[in-house]
Homo-oligomer: A and B are copies of this chain.
Amino acid sequence: MPRRGRIGEFELIARYFAPLAKGFAGAGGLKSDNAFLSVDRRHDLAIKTDMMVAGVHFLTDEKPAVVAAKALRVCLSDLAAGGAVPFTYQLALSLQKNWSERWIAGFARGLAADQRRYDVVLSGGDTTATPGPTTVSITAFGRVPRGKGLGRIGARAGDELWVSGTIGDGALGLLAAQGRFDSAALERRYRLPQPRTTLGPRLIGVASATADVSDGLLADAGHIAEASRLAVHIERNDVPLSRAARAFVDASPTLWGPVLGGGDDYELVIAVPPRRRARLMAAARAAGVTVTRIGGFRRGRGVHLTIDGKEARVPRKGYVHF
Contacts and interface: CB of A to CB of B under 8 A. Distances in A.
A94 B129 contact: no
A56 B128 contact: yes
A163 interface: no
B129 A322 contact: yes
A22 interface: yes
Interface string A129-147: 1111101010101000000
Given A24-B121, A91-B17, A94-B135, A53 B108 contact: no
A122 B21 CA distance: 5
A250 interface: no
B139 A90 contact: yes
Contact of A90 (B40, B41, B47): B47
A139 B108 CA distance: 21
A97 to B, nearest CB: 10
Nearest to A41: B40
A309 interface: no
A113 to B, nearest CB: 11
A121 B21 contact: yes
Contacts of A22: 121
Contact of A35 (B53, B123, B127, B137): B123
Contacts of A198: none
B17 A127 contact: yes
22 contacts: A9-B127, A17-B91, A19-B112, A20-B108, A21-B121, A21-B122, A24-B122, A30-B122, A35-B88, A35-B124, A37-B88, A40-B41, A49-B137, A51-B94, A53-B130, A53-B131, A55-B131, A56-B130, A94-B135, A128-B321, A132-B132, A139-B139
A158 interface: no
B123 A37 contact: yes
B51 A124 contact: no
B49 A124 contact: yes
> How many copies of this chain are found per oligomer?
2
Interface in A67-103: 88, 90-95, 99-101
A13 interface: yes
Contacts of A130: 53, 56, 132-133, 135
A262 B121 CA distance: 33
Given A17-B91, A88-B37, A94-B53, A126 B137 contact: yes
- Closest 4 pairs (CB-CB, A-B): A132-B132, A40-B40, A39-B39, A35-B124
A16 B129 CA distance: 16
A195 to B, nearest CB: 16
Interface string A104-124: 110110011001000001111
